[in-house]
């Protein structure tokens, strides 16, 4: 009777694996949430760039930095999904490279 109430080793292992899987999915969703927020900030930051450029002032490195951060988060999200999302990774990776390059050149 006592052994029927306690989970077997296989059942316990399955419960642990299910909990770890749920934790990983939660972490991936959190990265997706941060990526969505970063994407929003990136597009909002264009307003300052447009106004600055219309006034003849050089660009600020803020927009390219947020573009690089956003692309990095999307690449991470695509990489960490249980089945890697290669389309998302490939589409976002140039944003990492060009965002960093643009930010560095804007700071010079």
Q: Provide the 10 A C-beta neighbour count for residue 96.
A: 19
The pLDDT tens digits of the residues spanning 14-28 come to 888 888 889 988 998
The pLDDT tens digits of the residues spanning 89-107 come to 998 998 898 888 888 887 7
Task: Give the C-alpha distances (Å, rounded to integers) separating 28 from 24, 35, 47.
Answer: 6, 11, 30
- Tell me the C-alpha distance between 2 and 20, whole Å: 28
DSSP letters spanning 40-92:
HHHHHHHHHHHHHHHTTPPPPSHHHHHHHHHHHHHHHHHHHSSS--HHHHHHH
pLDDT band, very low/low/confident/very high, at 34 (cuts 50, 70, 90):
confident
Comparing 12-21, 28-37, 45-54, 59-68, the range with the smallest average pLDDT is: 45-54
Of residues 47 and 34, more confidently modeled: 34
pTM: 0.62
Answer whether residue 46 shows pLDDT above 80: no
Across 50-74, average pLDDT = 82
- Check residue 7 and give its pLDDT: 67
């Amino acid at each position: 009777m006592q052994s029927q109430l306690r989970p077997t080793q296989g059942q316990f292992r399955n419960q642990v694996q299910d909990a770890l899987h749920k934790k990983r999915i939660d972490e991936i969703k959190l990265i997706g949430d941060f990526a969505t927020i970063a994407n929003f900030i990136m597009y909002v930051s264009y307003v300052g760039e447009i106004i600055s450029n219309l006034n003849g002032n050089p660009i600020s490195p803020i927009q390219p930095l947020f573009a690089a951060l956003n692309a990095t988060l999307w690449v991470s999200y695509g990489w960490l999904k249980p089945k890697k999302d290669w389309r998302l990774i490939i589409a976002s990776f140039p944003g990492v490279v060009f965002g960093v390059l643009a930010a560095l050149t804007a700071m010079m």
